Amino acid sequence: MTLSFVKMHAHGDDFIIIDRRGLDDPITAHIARRLGNRHTGIGFNQLAVVLDCDDAAARIKFWNPNGTPLETCGSATRGVADRLMQETGSDAIVLRTDRGLLTCVRQPGRQVSVNMGEPSLEWSAVPLTEAMDTRRLPIEGDPAACSMGNPHCTFFVDDIAAVDVAAVGPALEAHPLFPAKTNVHFVQVLDRSHIRLRIWERGGGVPLGSGSCCCAAVVNGIRRGLLDATVQVHCDGGTLTVHWAGEGGVVLTGSVAPVMQGSVFGIG
């Protein structure tokens, strides 16, 4: 089987898009793992499969490089939106993900914003294994949790440079409090409108950035009373903007850029 793809990135958070509108969806966990291998495949933080949809411009399914599905990806959603808006000549588009219908809008400077929907703040929706206040979890380091369609756990630290994310991330991802595992982020608050963020991504390792993690980190910071409604999030790969008014949807804005396009052979 031959598959055509486009590779893009959002401040280093790289993803590939496979457009299967009008075609079948051949992607399985095995194929996602093969494509995600950075030595023998293409390599990505996420894979986005674009499919036909009755109530939106397209439906997107997401995969991690380890072959596990995920519910949402802010970077790849904005990448798909960028391509489809160019295709249609529009400045706004609605896409369907497992998160629901997401509205994306063209912004100046080749930036794209997406309303990622309301964060889920109840323990059962994150999900956690038992009832508790998700603003403060009984884990060393006093993290907060929420869901942006996928689970997130946020630690607030004084010096992010002192955190060995790759060393501590795997155990926290698989902490027994998270039955579906979790994304883990470490946040240093620079001021009320700027944070430094580093990430251990569920099923992916340490990325240069992550749209949904940026959103969740800001949501948890606002819930802790540490941040204002609009925050510049400085990731390893660049800066994104997150806006959340304390209720309603979380809006993520940042640039996306194409890297390459091509075909892969013998996948299956």
pLDDT tens for each residue of the chain, 268 residues long = 889 999 999 999 999 999 999 999 999 999 999 999 999 999 999 999 999 999 999 999 999 999 999 989 999 999 999 999 999 999 999 999 998 999 999 999 889 999 999 999 999 999 999 999 999 999 999 999 999 999 999 999 999 999 999 999 999 999 999 999 999 999 999 999 999 999 999 988 899 999 999 999 999 999 999 999 999 999 999 999 999 999 999 999 999 999 999 999 877 6
At residue 74's C-alpha, the angle toward residues 47 and 171, to 5°, is 75
Residue from 208, 209, 204, 207 nearest 68 by CA: 204
Q: Is the pTM of this model over 0.85?
A: yes
For residues 2-37, b (16+ Cβ closer than 10 Å) or e, as one string? ebebbbbbbbebbbbbbbbeeeeeebeeebbbbbbe
Residue from 223, 228, 226 nearest 243 by CA: 228
Is 97 domain-assigned? no
- Say if CB 172 and CB 199 are below 8 A apart: no
Distances (CA, A) of 259 to 6, 14, 39, 65, 201: 8, 9, 17, 18, 22
Q: Give how many domains the chain has, as a whole number.
A: 2
Taking residue 183's Cβ as centre, other Cβ atoms within 10 Å add up to: 28
Is 209 domain-assigned? yes
Residue from 32, 4, 29, 8 nearest 18 by CA: 4
The DSSP code for 120 is B
Residues 128 and 240 in one domain: yes
Question: What CATH number should be reported for the domain holding residue 36?
Answer: 3.10.310.10
Residue from 139, 176, 178 nearest 156 by CA: 139
- Say if CB 161 and CB 173 are below 8 A apart: no
| Domain with 172 in it | 123-249
Residue from 188, 105, 181, 171 nearest 147 by CA: 181
Residues 46 and 143 in one domain: no
Is 110 domain-assigned? no
Residues 78 and 151 in one domain: no
Residues 129 and 229 in one domain: yes
Is 106 domain-assigned? no
